[in-house]
Chain A
């Protein structure tokens, strides 16, 4: 579905452009109306990078404030939501860099993205258990599985598959090539399937932790 993620509902676009114009003209109270539909996306983007709820909320607020302060720089050729997510990702990455600046271990990702990823588990997972998302423990489980991935895979997966940015927008946000986005996306999806298929496809029932190298169920 190339290209679809960049298309925009014209009515929504018109509504947002009108709001932005009024905010720029001084009606600052309207700004929350503009960001309200995307606050879940902002928080999820921050959480996926920071893996800490307190930091994620703080960075979300910082990102929204930054968007407000720089609203005049927003160009209507991109979607407001994409611009807001890009600011959030930058803020979260800056926070990570700051947190790790005084540590002796550099934050490098040693996972090899060269070569093909081989699925390790072939458990059948035909039916999608979407109703299981009603359960908080399942959402928590998915969050933990995602948190167990390396940063570069997590970022790409969240932007493309949770925030629904296009491949091109994801590449632009992260400052990498579209080929890298595709490679990392493939590995992220397959790794998550390996982690989740035996449980969600089988018969797990309790909350489980993801220990390195062990199956969570």
Chain B
């Protein structure tokens, strides 16, 4: 199958969604390898998705949370179990704090994430084979279109990737993330 630049531009979004037939996918990749214009469009489109998909784009104005809580308190009926809830919550918090202190003493600390705002890979199956690029910050499934610098990738288990501070790709690992 031979594809033109116009075909690439028409399918680029579906390609990045992983929503094209395998034969078309191969043809698109073959075209992009030999076309600097389409490579620029593909890289740029991928960057747009990645930049806007970053949690840092979801910041709220200063004081937003406080004002939201105030508005809720003004407009909702009092909790029927407010006082009881407070006691339970306080007791639970004390218990949790104690457990955390004990746990801290016995569990090695979590590796520092390469990207400070990424989500740690808590829900990812640890024995899954994943792909990382040497200078990247995230780990991916093999074939994820959001892998950067595909020329310098390495395969390892998710356990090893997490240990080295890589965070899960928010796209291909979405099902394992807490806000997925």
Contact = CB atoms under 8 A, between A and B. Distances in A.
Interface residues of A, number: 69
B152 interface: no
Contacts of B44: 123, 125, 193, 196-197, 201
B41 A2 contact: no
B72 to A, nearest CB: 6
A161 B49 contact: yes
A128 B47 contact: yes
Interface string B129-173: 000000001000000000010000000000000000000001110
B43 A39 contact: no
Interface string B18-42: 1100000000000000001100110
B17 interface: yes
Contacts of A118: 6, 9
A64 B68 contact: yes
Contact of B54 (A31, A133, A197): A133
Contacts of A70: none
B177 to A, nearest CB: 7
- Interface of chain B: mostly helix, strand, loop or mixed: helix
A76 interface: no
A139 interface: yes
B51 A142 contact: yes
The interface centre, meaning the residue of B13, B115, B123 with most chain A CB atoms within 10 A of its CB, is B13
Contact of A57 (B64, B76, B177): B64
A8 to B, nearest CB: 6
Interface stretch (A88-96, A106-114, A182-190, A208-216): A182-190
Contacts, number: 189
A97 to B, nearest CB: 23
A129 B17 CA distance: 21
Interface string B67-83: 11101100111111110
Contacts of B49: 161, 189
Nearest to B50: A128
A139 B52 contact: no
A105 interface: no
Nearest to B173: A4
A40 B57 CA distance: 9
A175 interface: no
A130 B174 CA distance: 19
Given A26-B80, A43-B64, A125 B40 contact: yes
7 contacts: A60-B64, A60-B68, A116-B10, A118-B9, A157-B52, A190-B45, A196-B47
The 3 A-B pairs with the shortest beta carbon distances in the complex, nearest first, are: A40-B58, A26-B80, A186-B13
Given A31-B72, A127-B148, A182-B13, 10 more contacts: A2-B19, A9-B176, A12-B179, A64-B72, A119-B9, A123-B44, A130-B115, A134-B56, A139-B59, A189-B45
